Every structure is written in C-alpha cells, then in structure tokens.
Amino acid sequence: MKIKFTYIALAVAGMAAFTSCKKDKTTPTEPEEQVQPYTVPATYTFTGADYSKATARVKMGAELNSYLGTANNASITATKANDMFDNKNSQFADATLNTSGVTLAEKTSNADFFRGHFTTQATNSMSNNVAAVNGAAGVVISGTTKRLVGATGLESNQAVAKGMMGALYFKEVVKLLSNIGNDDNKAVTNNTTLAQRNWDDAFGLLGIPADYDPDKTYTSADANRPLLWGGYLAERGKEILAGKTIFEAFRKGRAALGGKDKVVVAEQAKIILDKWEQLNAAAALEYATIPTRSVNVGNLATQFHALSEGFGFVYSLQFRQTGSKLSAADYAKLKATFDTNFYTLINEANFTKLVEAQTILKTTYGL
Amino acid sequence: MKYNKNSFKVLSVILAVTVAVIACSKSGTELGGSKPDESGFDKTAMLTNYADNLIIPAYTTLQTQVGLLETAVNTFLSTPNTTNQAALKPVFKETWLKYQNVSVDQFGPAETALLSNFLNTFPTDSAVVEGNIGKGTYSLTSNASINQQGFPALDYLLFNPHALTDFSANAANRKKYVQDVLAALKTRVGTVLDGWKGSYRATFIGNTKSDSGSPIAFLVNQFAFEMDQLKGPRIGWPYGKQSAGVMYPKNTEGFYSGISIALATENLSALKRMFNGNGSGKGMSDYLVALKQQKLSNDVMSQFDKAINSLKAIPDPYPTAMTNNKTQIDAAYREIQILLTLIKTDVASQTGVRITYQDTDGD
C-alpha cells in the first residue's frame, strides 16, 4: 500500500509539474485566470464555506432511515415517512431540520420509487410479529438479529436508505462536480463564488465533519460522526482508502478554486467521482458476497439483510457519472440479479447469479 | 505423514529454486507480493507445507475413507441387520473423524463448494429428511437442503433407534436416499480435492500476504471460526450455554451414533496439527516465533494440549455426560474459551489478520 501510494503521489506530482510547464508555454491567459498561490488546509475550513443545506439533507435522510427501521418492532405509517420526505408537519426530532427550508424530495430522483417503499414498509410493519415466508412479509430472526422483510425477502428500509444514497446524494455530487468547470468562479457573493458554493454543497453531501479523520473510529455517540456515505467511507471503503482519498481531494479542489487553478480542480473532481463510484461498487460487492459465504449460508437474517443493502447500492449505481467504467449491459445484469426474489437467489446452486455480480463488480472496479 | 517423506525432499528442492527465482526477480522489480518477512521467515515454505503435507493429504484420506464407507453402507443396505449395523458404525465414525481434519480448510475450493455446509450442518432436520423419503423427490444441490444431508443426516438415518425397523420393509426410498446423500457427499469431496490438485494449490502458496482474502488470513480466520464452533454448537450450546442452562442434547454433532466428544476432540487435535504445521517447523506457530512472539506461540500450543485433554476427560455419549459429568464439561468449556481468545485476538493481531467471518453490520 505504502509503495503504491508513493507512486501515485509521484505520478500526481509529475502530472502537476507537467501541466504547469505546459501552461507557462502555451496559454496566453487573461490576468484574472492566472493561477494564484494557494495552500491546502488539513481540515475543510475555507472562508465563507456554507454547506448547511446539504448537511440538513444528510441528517434528514438519516432520520428518515431510522424511522423506517423502527418498523421492526412498531407499526409505522407511510404518511409520516412522506412528511419527512417532503419536510411537512415538523416530523423531524432535530427541530432545526423542520425549519431548514429544504426537503429530500426536491433533490431526489425517482421519488415514486421511494414513496412506494414507504408504503410497503408500513404494510410490512403490520407483519412484524410473524415469520417471513417466500411470498409473504414477516420477520427473519437469527440470534439477536431481527429483520423485517417483504414478500421477496427485501427490507424496504434498506432499499430506501441505500437507494437514496444514490438517487439524492451521489446523483447531486455527480451533477455538481461534473459541471464545476463551467460554474462561474469569479463573481463573489458572501465571500464565495458559485463554483465554490457548489463544491461546498458537494462536500456537505458526503456527510463528514470538517475535521474528518479517516483513521478514527467514530462511535454512534459522537455528534460529529460521519453519516450515510460518510459512514460507508469506513464501513466498506477502508481497503480502497476511500475516506482519505475523497476527503483530501475535496480540500485540494476547494483550495484550487481559490487559486483559480482549473486543472487541479478538474483533477480533484475526477478523483472524487471515481473513488466515490468505486466505493459504491465496493459496498455492492460486499453485499453480493456476504450471502454466499459458507458461514452465512442458512442464516436468512444475514443473507437477506446483505441482499437488501446490495439491492439499494446497485440501485444507487444507476446514478453513476457519464463515462463510467460500468457498461449499461453489465449494469442491467447487476440490476436483474438484485431484482430477483431473494429466496431464489440464496437457494441457487453455486450462487451463479451472485457470483456473476461479484465478478462484474470486481473486474470493472479493480476490487 | 510418513508417506510423504520422499515427495517432501523433492518439494524442498523445487521450493528452494522457486525462492531463488523470486529473489532474483525481486532485485529487478520493486513491487510484488511474495518476499520473506523481515524476520527471515519463509512464508511460501509454510504455505507449501500446509498445501502438500496437511491439506491435500487430508482430503485424499477423506476421499479414500468415503470409499470404504460406501462399501460398508451398501453391505448394510442389502442386509440391514444388527451385525452389519455394528460393522458399519466404526467405519462411519472413522469417516466423520477424517472429515474433522478438513473442517478447518473451509476456504478456496471448499468455500466454493460450501463443503462444511453440505457435509456437516447439524442438527439434521429429520422431519424434512423423512418427508423427502416419503415423497421420493428432493434436491440435494439446493442450498436450502444443507440440513437434509451430509454426515448428520446419515447419522440419523443409519443409527437412530428405529433404523433397523425402518430399513426392514418397504425401504426402497429410504435406501435410495442414503445412497443419494452418500453420492452427493462423495462428489463434493472429489470436487474440492480436484480444486486443490488443479489451480488452487498454486494460488494458495503464491500469496504470502495477510490481507483479507489471503491464505494466511483464511487460516487464522478458520482457526478462530473452528474454535467458535467448538465453544458454541459442538460443546457449549447443546449444554445450555446460550439458553440459560436449558440443554439441547439432540443438537449435538453425532447425536445418534453417540460420538460427539470423539468428533470434537479430533476436530481440536486437527486444529492443533494445522496450527503448528504438524511439527514441521513450517507452521503458524513457527511464523509467530519468527515474528518474535515465542511466548504467545508457546502459550497457544500448551493451551491446545490443555483443551484437548479436558475434552478427553468427557465420556461419550455427550448427552449422558451433560447430566453426569458437568464438572468435566465446565472445565473443558473454560479451556476452550481461553484458547479461543488467544487465537481470535492475540494470534490474529500479531499476524496482522482481521477476523472477517463475523461481519457485524452497523445498520
């Protein structure tokens, strides 16, 4: 790892050096486009940086997920879930969210898909006292673990949680960072340019604190703990150094915007998008693998839970960047596998479909 | 192991050459996997020892033994009487004991084949087994059928108290089921052995890293996993350790033939042989020494002996001992627990291996 990293660092340094040489020789730029000196801070601390709206949406998503999760032991309603989605009727326990002026719905693609799962989860919650069977909702229990699943074995709350990580947060980041080169980086309002505000917004959607530490183990008691994607940087992204890479790129890119260094901004945006997508794939891969491990075979609670998360993460991958390494044909295969009845998937001899999904994810993303 | 002496010498030469080649190519390139540890320990030699002197021979022996079992089963099925049942029992026991030698090798081809699931999921679901026999239609390849086959199903079918009566009249379906289960078992063992003899051996010895998915990580994880199984389903759970003292004697491994403790003892003895590379100087225990963990290595080895001896103090059948030998069982449970902790925490951390089989999902 260390050696590899040094090489990458060298390569990056080389590229930077190379590009700056090129710049000097070939670009007779207007004075305001000249690169200014800038430094990259160790934390995401920049004058005027305000991503409170993104943070509010991250916290809303987390609250909505935990509400849907209570269906395990209580009856829930689609009305309340929809209220949270639309930020109506002050449903959030964190009162600042109720008055934040933003909603999840306004930025979420395929809202009907999610509203459908609110309804399903509410219906399923009426069956949280019966055992699940193929064709009917209920709970699967293993030891102290209890999972509420629908007729096909899917936990609707996981479909929502992980699906929305794609349909809202990642999709927005892709939109913001893919276009960052076209955003105005000159006119300053409240100490920031449009490009800087959009960059900050993208950072906020990651759900990590400004002083994020990729090596720290955050506990659920920590008020500053990473949420949603932020949590997955550690949960499934350790081996690909997702937390370190993405956090560093966000700081570098934001600093480069201040220095009007378009090349570095574009580079960092690409690093973020590629690594984020790889993180999504790594999560999907893990959840395609867990159900096939010998230790989990026969343990429906573990297998269905993993498949439910996998379902959400594969759903999320549809919001990948244009020009992604994952082909439409391979994506269709992944989607078809996770759309399969889970009882069928786990009983398939040799796990043919899941193994195929594992192979696609491994080969495409170098995992 | 005697039988391997010659092939071992040849192997050492091959190995030496391999190492030399690797060493040469190393000086040329900077990046790459296999190099002796800074302590000078040759991990490739250790893995080669595991593959050639422990794992592959264990599967080969099991395969041979399954052949003997097949003969004994067929004799019993053609003439199901007390004599043939009595003659079958030691063969059956020996085969299950041989399985315990490969139980720890649940990775690579065994993992793909789900060998431990299909061969040794206990307790067997005797009601479903009887249902299958009644219907005469069943699939032994579906993953849902793991508790309807393997050794535990054979244990039930061949040695339950009414087995002789069951096989006496109108038993065509029942006999066919036994043969199908045995055939499925034999096929799976063959598949795994072929996998090792094929490409997997090279994959296994060619990766000396310790990250997740590496052979060293597989070994350490499996040591810990087997210890968890010993503490849980093999010894602790049936004895009520997870159920406030409510005992489940029928859930023991080898309940019908009454060989639970023999199986557990063999399982742990096999684990010890694996841990110290069968005393070859090329085992995990030696790797620990090379990592300057002599004391830990010694502690683990002596704890193996304590745990094995404490298990041996419990008489079979285990369900009877649960009432009559509580002191011995409690003592064995304690020793097992100490060994489990040593392996799962100390050995894992010193070898840089993450225990991954218990995926504690945050949400």
The pLDDT tens digits for A109-160 are 999 999 999 999 999 999 999 999 999 999 999 888 899 999 999 999 999 9
Distance CA B101, CA B51 (A): 13
Where in the sequence is the domain holding A99, given as residue range(s)? 52-338+353-360
A96 — alpha (psi -120 to 50), left (phi > 0) or beta?
alpha
pTM exceeding 0.90 = no
CB-based contact B357 A290, cutoff 8 Å: no
Of B146, B359, B363, the CB nearest to A298: B146
pLDDT band at B363 (very low <50, low <70, confident <90, very high): low
Torsion of CA B92, B94, B96, B97, to 10 degrees: 160
| Mean per-residue pLDDT of chain A | 92
pLDDT band at B21 (very low <50, low <70, confident <90, very high): very low
Distance CA A177, CA A253 (A): 10
Distance CA A39, CA A260 (A): 12
Cβ-Cβ contacts under 8 Å, A65 against chain B: 363
- The pLDDT score that the predictor gives to residue A235 is 87
CB-based contact A348 B30, cutoff 8 Å: no
Q: CATH topology for B37-207?
A: A middle domain of Talin 1 (1.20.1420)
Judged by DSSP in three states, B65 sits in helix
- B209-363 maps to CATH 1.20.1420.20: yes
Distance CA A228, CA B208 (A): 35
**φ and ψ at A149, to 5 degrees?**
-125, 155
pLDDT band at B170 (very low <50, low <70, confident <90, very high): confident
* B73 contacts: CB under 8 Å, gap ≥ 6: B88, B92, B154, B158, B178, B179, B182
Tell me the nearest-neighbour CA distance from A272 into chain B, angstroms: 24
pLDDT for residue B202 is more than 70 = yes
Distance CA B79, CA B167 (A): 9
Percent of chain A past pLDDT 90, that is, above it, reads: 88
Cβ-Cβ contacts under 8 Å, A351 against chain B: 143
* Least reliable range by pLDDT among A14-18, A31-35, A239-243: A14-18
DSSP B75-100: HHHHS-SHHHHHHHHHHHHHHHHHHH
Residue A44 lies in a domain: no
Distance CA A188, CA A195 (A): 10
Please give the residue of chain B at the shortest CA–CA distance from A235. B362
Residue A346 lies in a domain: no
Give the A:B interface size as CB pairs under 8 Å: 47
pLDDT band at B359 (very low <50, low <70, confident <90, very high): low
pLDDT band at B169 (very low <50, low <70, confident <90, very high): confident
Estimate the share of chain A in helix, then strand, then coil, as percent rounded to the nearest 5.
Answer: 60, 5, 35
For CATH 1.20.1420.20, the residue range(s) in chain B are 37-207, 209-363
Of B114, B141, B359, the CB nearest to A294: B114
Residue A6 lies in a domain: no
Question: How many domains are there within chain A?
Answer: 1
Residue A47 lies in a domain: no
Of A293, A295, A347, the CB nearest to B144: A347
- Checking A286-290 for CB contacts under 8 A at 24+ apart, the result is A286/A236, A287/A313, A288/A337, A288/A354, A288/A357, A288/A358, A288/A361, A289/A354, A289/A358, A290/B359
Residue A247 lies in a domain: yes
Burial class (CB in 10 A: 0-12, 13-18, 19+), B171: middle
C-beta of residue A148 within 8 angstroms of C-beta of residue A141: no
- The pLDDT score that the predictor gives to residue B27 is 34
Residue A99 lies in a domain: yes
Residue A31 lies in a domain: no
**Among A294, A297, A344, A345, the residue to mutate for chain B (most B Cβ within 10 A):** A294
Mean pLDDT for A14-28 is 42
Query: pLDDT tens-digit profile of A254-291?
Result: 999 999 999 999 999 999 999 999 999 999 999 999 99
pLDDT for residue A340 is more than 90 = yes
Please give the residue of chain B at the shortest CA–CA distance from A146. B363
Cβ-Cβ contacts under 8 Å, A290 against chain B: 359
- The pLDDT score that the predictor gives to residue B29 is 33
Of B117, B141, B358, the CB nearest to A297: B117
